[in-house]
Structure formats: structure tokens, C-alpha cells
A and B are shown apart, each in its own frame.
Chain A
Amino acid sequence: MNAVTAVPTPSVLHGRGAAPPVWANDLDSLMEAYRQAGGDPEAIRQANVATLVVSGSQVLMAHDIAGLRFEAEELPQGVKARIIVAPGVTIERLVHLCFGLLPAQGRQEIIASYEIGAGAKVAFLAHCTFPNAVQVEHVMDADIHVGAGATMKYTESHYHGENGGIRVIPKTRVDVGENGRFHTTFSLSHGRVGYMAIDYELDVAAGGVAELTTKVYGHADDDVHVREVVRLNGRDARGLTKTRVAVRDRAHSAIHTVTEGNAAGAVGHMDCTEIVRDQAEAQNMPIVLVRNDEARVTHEAAIGSVSKKELETLMSRGLDEDEAVDVIIRGMFN
């Protein structure tokens, strides 16, 4: 295992006239894939932006800034990383994380732990890109601790290429401390999904807030599984899961959300919309579990085709049915 800390970018090296290192091609290719997936490579290369870039089992960049530290170790098939934010620190700029695998075949395993110190504030923008995947497996096992009074925002965008030959299995355990806040948004709306099984479990302490938003667009024979469990354990803890899934062709989705109201004043809500087209299939299994008579958990789910009224409104502006559905689904994913 090699411990890796800050690594200069290839563009910096190129600028100095030095010969590019072996990994530079990987970084440039990954940055190109990152750009195609909607990321901004220039943002990553700024000195005051904390960045972690992992390609396969290589850490290409791990750029610390004041108050935020990466500890990354390369494993035979992936990377183990700790992301540590010091207590009380506010990280002003988005922290960029980029995980990817460029070859058509392979496995990447990421073991990550996020430690957000009490009172800290930080926002992450993570991109996972597998642009050439034909037979790829990406496994993520993450533990997140949001300290008391801390705020963590985590926005994750995936691009799995156009082949569908990928299995993505992210598992995340989150522990939100007293009055802490955790907001996460996962989106995969361009290209194929392949097989994906998102598994989130959150425990929220008194006064804490957890919000999970998941947006996935599956087609062909994509297979989407989402499991989200929110346990509102502390007094006045709040939780929201918002799931937006569209499936068409022969794709399949199964959304399983659980919210537990385990303490007085806990308030939870699950909101799921799934749009089904063609021969696709969508399942939704919300479970409400309340163990305290002063807790309240609600859920709403709508599964079916696009609303007739929305469709006809857009068609009355001249869009054909496919274009109208596309506008509705893209909007849902905004």
C-alpha cells in the first residue's frame, strides 16, 4: 500500500516543461470523462479547492486545504480514503471528489470514511465516471460521521457510459450527530445505469436533519435498486427521502425506503415518484415504522406513466410525445 498525499496536476507539470508522468494520461482521460459527465475540470485544478481523484486503484490527486485533510491508501483493487474536516471549520469552496475506471473491464473498490468535526460545514461534489464500461464493477463502502452541529452536503453524479456493462454497488452508513445536518443528492440521468444497488442507512440524533434525494433514469435492461433507511432516533430529528426514478424500455426499478420515528418530535417523510414507459417495471416499497407516539412519519408515492395533463400541455406547444416525456423527466431530475 502506498500512502498518497497532495499530488501536482499534470497540467502544472506540463506547464513547467517537464515530461508528463505515466499517470498523467490517466488523469487527462479521467478529466475528459469528468467533463463529459458534467463536471468542471478547471475547478478541480485550483489551488484553494480540496480534491481527491482516484482512477482504478491509483490516487491521482489528493489535494488538502486548511481544515480538510485526505488520507488515501492504494489497495490492490481500489483505494481506502479518509476525509477529515476539522471541528468548527467552514470549507468555503466545494470539495471535489472524482472516482472512475477508464478500462472497459475491471473492478474498483472504494472504502471511504468521512469525519466531519463538530460545528464544521462542508459541501462535496462527487463524480463517478466509467465511460467505457463493458464489464466493470464499482463497489463503494462508506462511513460518514457528521459531528454535532456540523453540516455536510454531498452531491454525487454518476456516468456509466453507454454500454450498460457495469455493476455499481455503493453502501453508505451515516451517523448524524446532535443538531447536525446531512444532505445528499445522487443523480444518474445520462447514459446507461447497468446494475445499480444503492444502499443507505442513516441514524439521526436529537435535532439532526437528514435529507436524501435520489434521481435515476434507467433504460434498455438497466436494473435499479435503491434502499434507504432513515432512523430518527433523537428528539425532534427530521428526515426526508425524495426519490425520482424513470424507467423505460425493459428497465426495472425497485425502491425500498424505510423511515423510523423512534423519538418524540421526530418528523419523517418519504416522497417517491417513478415514471414507467414501454415494458419497464417499477416497484416502490415504503415502510413507516413509528415507535414513539409523539413522532410522525408520512409517505407519498406516485408510480405510473407521465401525467396526461403535463404531456398534453407540452404537446400543445408542438413537442411530440417523446420530446414531451423527455422534458418532463429531465425536469424531474433537475
Chain B
Amino acid sequence: MNTQPLLEVQNLSLNRDGRAILQNVNLRVYPGQVHALLGINGSGKSSLAYALMGCAGYQPDSGRIWFDGQEITGLPIDERARLGLTLAWQEPARFEGLPVGSYLSLGMDRPHDAALSKTDRERVQAALAAVNMPAKTYLRRSVDATLSGGERKRIELAAVYAMRPRLAILDEPDSGIDTLSLDDIRALLRRMAQNGTAVLLITHRDEMAAAADMASIMCLGTILFTGETTAAQAFYRNGCQPHLAALGEQPWNGVIQPIKELAR
């Protein structure tokens, strides 16, 4: 493994509306690695994704974020993206009148308003094929409400795949997908990694983490555990014991039972 992390998060904390959303988060993702971030709903996974991407309202109160040795804590979203960091959104946005083909090509290294070259078109088609979507059916359709949530979700994954970023944060890629199986998604993750894209895979399903090289467990806005995937899966299935028990009854009480139920 490359010893220099591509992404490094140091003691990141974030408060919103007077509530601690992230607390001293520390995380490292290495080049070409699939790193799973496991946690139940509300544990702070998506908030961490937004903070890493630099979204409005998610500027950290303290801590630092480094990408390929450069501090990006204060950079706007587009500058982070141009460094090679992107996010596949859990609930993708809708774009009235924007054709799928154009949407997929936006992240490619080309003027966004230029006509697609033959190579660009092939790259877009390959991205659609990677998420089992026939180019003929979808290229000209708009990324709008006429597509189902599952279709938009797959197009979001295809857009990230077409972009070929250095690090892709995939926020719950397995939720709401209609025809892609977990095996398909895992294969997609591995293919991205083989193509040189590191992946931070956000999920609440421990079986999704099987595609990962490393995994971290997130709970109540902090990372409880980072290690080999199988160890992280066991930790997660065990309701994050004994760490949670050691932390005391409050405020973790309400979290332990749902994790156990999820793991059953």
C-alpha cells in the first residue's frame, strides 16, 4: 500500500444549529483504495461527505482536511473537484432539460459547452454501460423527474465513473437502486479502484463493505474504529461493542440497539 494518504482528515469537528454533527473525526484514505465508512442512519456519514466536499453549511469548526498533501479545508467545492475529489450524492439532483450525455461529460476534462468528441462519447457510453444502462435509451433523456429515483442514482454513479476522479466519495450507492445488484455495485467499485480512483464508500450495510480494502465505523459523529474490512464488519455486527459500552450509557444508549437490529 502507498504510505502517503490521498485524503487525510485530522480532528474534524462540525456543529450545526448548536448540535455537534462531527466530533474529532480522523480518517485516512489511500490512493487506489476502497475504504468503507459504515454507520447507521444519522451517524454523521453524509455530513462528513459534505464537509469533505466543501458544501455550504458544512464548513468545519475545527480540524483540517488534506488532499494529496495539500490542505483543502478552506477551498470551495469546484476547486476540490478540480484537484480530483468528487461526490456521488445520496439523493441526486434533478436537472430540467439537461441530457444524460451532457451531464455525464461535465466532469470530464474538457470545456463544458463544447461538442463531445468521439472519444468523449465513448467514455460516456462506457460509464452508462458500467451501471447497466443502455446508452441508446438514456443518452438524450433529461436528468429530470421523468427518470425514476433509481435511474437517477445510477446516472449519478455513471457521472462519477466518467469523471475518473482521484477520489470518489459514494454516499450510499446501494440505496434506492432498482436493478443494480450489490454484486454489480461492488464490481463497479473494484473497477474504479483498478482505474486509479480511490473510493470512500459510505454505507449502512456491512455486506457492502466486502468490496473494501479498509473500513471505518462511524457513530454519533465520530469514528470509533478503523481497520481491516473483516474486523470492521465483525465490530459493526457486534453493535460496536465493546467500544460503545466502554463509553457509558449516555448518549450512546439509543444507538446500540438499532445497530444490533441492523446487524441481525
Contacts and interface: CB of A to CB of B under 8 A. Distances in A.
Interface of A: 273, 307-310, 312-321, 323-324, 326-328, 330-334
A292 B170 CA distance: 52
Interface string B135-170: 000000010000000000000000100010000000
Nearest to B56: A308
Given A321-B78, A330-B97, A331-B142, 8 more contacts: A309-B89, A313-B93, A316-B77, A316-B89, A317-B81, A327-B106, A327-B112, A330-B98
Given A327-B98, A331-B96, A317 B76 contact: no
Q: Which 10 A-B pairs have the closest CB atoms?
A: A334-B97, A317-B107, A331-B98, A331-B97, A315-B77, A318-B81, A315-B78, A313-B93, A317-B106, A310-B93
A22 B20 CA distance: 78
A35 to B, nearest CB: 17
Contacts of B107: 317-318
Nearest to A326: B113
A327 B103 CA distance: 9
Contact of B93 (A273, A307, A323, A333): A307
A318 B93 CA distance: 16
B95 A310 contact: yes
B98 A323 contact: no
Contacts of B56: 308, 312
A316 B53 contact: yes
A174 B258 CA distance: 62
A246 B76 CA distance: 25
Contacts of B93: 307, 309-310, 313
Contacts of B97: 330-334
Contact of B92 (A313, A315, A332): A313
Residue among A309, A313, A319, A326 having the largest count of chain B Cβ atoms under 10 Å: A313
Contact of A317 (B92, B94, B159): B159
Contact of B81 (A307, A310, A315, A331): A315
A233 B23 CA distance: 63
B99 to A, nearest CB: 8
A317 B82 CA distance: 8
A328 B95 contact: yes
A208 B97 CA distance: 27
Nearest to B95: A331
A316 B87 contact: yes
Nearest to B107: A317
Given A307-B93, A313-B89, A317-B106, A334 B98 contact: yes
B55 interface: yes
A183 B78 CA distance: 40
B86 interface: yes
A310 B78 CA distance: 13
A268 to B, nearest CB: 20
Given A327-B112, A331-B95, A332-B97, A312 B82 contact: no
Contacts of B102: 327
Interface in B39-85: 53, 55-56, 76-78, 80-82
Contacts of A307: 93
Nearest to B50: A312
27 contacts: A273-B96, A310-B94, A310-B95, A312-B55, A312-B56, A313-B89, A313-B92, A313-B93, A314-B106, A315-B76, A316-B80, A316-B86, A317-B107, A317-B159, A318-B82, A318-B86, A318-B107, A319-B78, A323-B112, A327-B98, A328-B95, A331-B95, A331-B97, A331-B142, A332-B96, A334-B98, A334-B99
Interface string B85-125: 01101001111111100100011000011000000000000
A322 to B, nearest CB: 10
Nearest to A215: B97
Nearest to B162: A317
B106 A319 contact: yes
A205 to B, nearest CB: 30
